[in-house]
Structure 1
Amino acid sequence: MSVQTTQSDKSRRTAGVTFAARLSFEDIRHGYHGRETLRGVSLTAEAGEVLCLLGPSGSGKTTLLRIAAGIEAQSSGRVLLNGRAVAGPDVFVPPEQRGIGLMFQDFALFPHMSVVENVRFGLTAMSAREARAEAMAALERVGLDHYADKFPHVLSGGEQQRVALARALAPRPGVLLMDEPFSGLDSRLKDTIRADTLAILRETRATAVVVTHDAEEAMRMADRIALLRDGKLVQVGTSDDLYRRPGDIFAASFFSEINEFSSVVRNGRVETPLGVADAAGLADGRAVAVAVRLSGVNVSVERGVIPARIVSRRFLGVVELLELAIPGSERPVRARIRADMLPTGLRDARISVDPQDILVFEKDSETPYIGETKIME
């Protein structure tokens, strides 16, 4: 049975409420074989918050999660739960005593155990009867109580994900850690499973820390997002903060596709192949990087200030991805526009740019200059 044909949300048991905990990292450092993988990360997940750790492979997301769970030990720094240190220079609380649940990327279900036995596995403080009753309640919350006596291999990927979620939530942890929990799912099911998971997390009110490399997934799920790169914390904020006010060009490129240009501030302006950007407030002679979001490049037959030749055109369903040759740029400029806005076979077009989709960063500090920037005719 597919995920869509399981019990409806109306008939599903409401998830049991947990006592959400506040999880804090203080100046966490960690390394492998002389290579520093986390470099002074300080971050807090507030009680009841869904916090996403976002970044490319190798940025330190999963390592930070494993340190919180007690599977890895940091080189220095502290991990605190509700203000009490659970890992630090003079303390190390074992994983099973932290009240932290961990959901692995591959779900890690025991193939020789039934679904209900998998879910009750961590309920060691209860009698066998009580543990089974609690496990069945957890399975009912995720709509899979009718699969209790089946084995994991007969379940779909989405159903296995739900079993893993039920197992992680059954002990009612104060913090739930999830390591790329949707990465192995079929893209057609991912949105549904993700929405259902978020609804269950809201019901339980547990603090959740979710690792992902997908910016859209983080924006869909998180109350706040912590963006990491090369073991360092780049920026923390809401999805609106990180999209509209990125801290550097890396953050800008992680949340949207961009065209990037190098330039220098002259008399409060920056010249680019897409026109002149206002950079009042930045010192003359300052080297800058100008980022223009693909969605902010408008392409039309006649309207626009910059002539362009369409080099390639890819139909992606709702949108089309264009590459355009323009004067002054050695590389094609990319644009993402709504499908069917341009006539088939069109070669010559004109470009204009939306001011809110232009970001100017100082190159040495990568501090953004945002707000008054605009492309001028």
Structure 2
Amino acid sequence: MSRAKKLTQPATAARTSAGVSFAANLTFENVCHHFGSKEILCGIDLVAEAGGILCLLGPSGSGKTTLLRIAAGIERQSEGRLLLNGREMAGPGVFVPPELRGVGLMFQDYALFPHMTLLKNVAFGLSGLSQAAARRAAGSALERVGLSNRGDQYPHMLSGGEQQRVALARALAPRPSVLLMDEPFSGLDSRLKDVIRTDTLQILRETRATAIVVTHDAEEAMRMGDKIALLRGGRLVQTGTGAELYRNPVDLFTAGFFSELNVIPAEASGGRVITALGPVGETALCDGTKLTVALRLMGLRLGESEAGVLGRIVSRRFLGGVELFTVVVEGIDEPLRSRMRAGVVPDDCRDVVVSIDAQDVIIFEKDVGGR
């Protein structure tokens, strides 16, 4: 039994393997959407590949949930097309209603019916089956998520983690070809989130359904997604694997979404990128070209004898296994931050040598992106 089950459901039966769905490609073609004169989405071209997990990532108001609602058929886009395995679900003159799309939707607040038992909640969307068949399918879905012996209970009798499992069981019961999940873990406390998320990921892999997950948490997107689509202001900024977006961000906004950054000015000189901390990389740009250097906190090192420039610690905060430092360096207007293993810098140390780990440096031309 997993740790999550010990924490949230001490009397729960073991979870069985999930039934297999028939996964499908879901394609957004030049999707745009407006509310009156306000542009919500603009020119979204994106494919959720069959059997894979696509994470829609971005800040609040970036259009993630609107895109999910368009996929579900709750919203109808202003322009563009939505295709499921090449068949047009929504477009000019075409609109397939939600119940005929073979798409499952799991809401952020779980949306369980409080007056229904868990078994009836899960069976609610199985209207095409006989009562007996729907009951069997609902029981099987509850068994997949480890709640087979709780079917006669009501939602108010469950913890948040257990309610999340019921919502997942209800979404999976009809064996959807695409499962849409709108920030499914936002209601869970941090103690349970990692475990519930891991169990959910295992169930998604077992069902083999295509999944689209909305999140504003970059780490969550990297943990879950086979592919990540980063949105900003209704536009697609970058798509790729978590490693691709982390290592090769197209702009400063993307870099800042995946890690905390120190942002410092730089200039090209003699084929090198020069900052107040010294050279941090190479460039083919002309001498004098203004650049921006993004430096991850773990890449700013503080020591007493290493090569670098002098700095002074103005604050430090113990965070358990690491410490967060604020340090000032001559020639840089804003204080810099460094995240280092706890105990590496002596408690009484104030004056340090500041150096850079080149693998945590990202160089942009001055006008590329913003935050």
Give TM class, smaller chain: over 0.9
Give the total of aligned pairs: 365
Q: Which amino acid aligns with 2:8?
A: V
SS of 2:115's partner is coil
Partners of 1:143 and 1:268 lie apart in 2 by: 60
CA–CA distance in structure 2, aligned partners of residues 84 and 196 of structure 1: 32
- 5+ residue gaps, structure 2: 1-5
Deviant stretches of 4+, over 4 Å: none
Q: Which stretch shows the higher mean deviation, 95-104 or 286-295?
A: 286-295
Q: CA deviation at 1:366?
A: 4.5
Q: Which residue of 2 aligns with 1:288?
A: 291
In the TM superposition, 1:325-336 aligns within 5 A as 325-336=328-339
After the TM superposition, which of the residue ranges 175-184 and 273-282 deviates more from structure 2?
A: 273-282
Which amino acid is 1:341 matched to? Answer: V
* Counterpart secondary structure, 1:181: coil
Indicate how the Cα distance of structure 1 residues 246 and 4 shifts in structure 2: closer, same or farther if over 3 A, else same.
farther
Counterparts of 1:118-133 in structure 2, within 5 Å, are 118-133=121-136
Deviates more, 1:266-275 or 1:188-197: 266-275
Does 2:232 align with 1:229?
Answer: yes
Structural RMSD (CA): 1.5
Q: Secondary structure at the match of 1:311?
A: strand
Comparing 259-268 with 118-127, greater Cα deviation is found at 259-268
TM-score, with length taken from structure 2 = 0.95
Deviation at 1:272, TM superposition (A): 1.5
TM-score (norm 1): 0.94
Kindly provide the amino acid, as one letter, of the partner of residue 270 in structure 1: V
Equivalent residue for 2:3?
none
Partner of 2:276: 273
CA distance in structure 1 between the partners assigned to 2:10 and 2:346 by the alignment: 42
Contact 2:179 2:212 in 1 (8 A): yes
Are 1:68 and 2:65 matched, yes or no? no
Superposition map of 1:40-59 within 5 A? 40-59=43-62
Report the 3-state secondary structure (helix = DSSP H, G, I; strand = E; otherwise coil) of the residue aligned with 2:292: strand
Q: Residues of 2 paired with 1:227 and 1:153: CA distance?
A: 36
Matched, 1:16 2:42: no
Shift of 1:285: 3.9
Q: Which is further off, 296-305 or 45-54?
A: 296-305
Q: Which moved more, 1:291-300 or 1:161-170?
A: 291-300
Aligned-partner Cα distance in 2 for 1:323–1:353: 15
SS in 1 for 2:211: strand
Q: How far off is 1:278 after superposition? A: 3.0
- The 2-side partners of 1:100 and 1:43 are apart by 17
Question: 1:12–1:143: 8 Å Cα contact kept in structure 2?
Answer: yes
- Matching of residue 85 in structure 1 with residue 67 in structure 2: no
Unaligned regions of 5+ residues in structure 1, if any?
Answer: 368-377
Matched position secondary structure for 1:5? coil
Displacement of 1:351 in angstroms is 1.4
The answer to whether structure 1 residue 352 and structure 2 residue 355 are counterparts is yes
Q: Which residues in structure 2 correspond to 1:172-187 (within 5 Å)?
A: 172-187=175-190
2: CA distance, partners of 1:224 / 1:350: 40
Deviation per residue, 1:112-151 (Å, 9 max, x gap): 1111111000000001111011000000000011110111
SS in 2 for 1:227: strand
Contact preservation (8 Å) 1:6, 1:144: no
Q: How far apart in 2 are the matches of 1:364 and 1:44?
A: 30
SS at match of 1:361: strand
Name the counterpart of 2:171.
168
Encode CA deviations 1:189-239: one digit per residue, 9 max, x unaligned.
000000000000000000000000000101111111111111111111111
Query: Among the aligned pairs, what percent are the same residue?
Result: 61
1:7 Cα deviation from its structure 2 partner = 4.5
Matched-pair contact (CA < 8 Å) for 1:6–1:143: no
Matched residue, 1:148: 151
Do the aligned partners of 1:2 and 1:156 also contact (CA within 8 Å) in 2?
no
Are 2:249 and 1:241 equivalent residues in the alignment? Answer: no
1:5 to 2, 5, 10: 10
Decide whether the 8 Å contact of 2:267 with 2:275 is kept in 1.
no
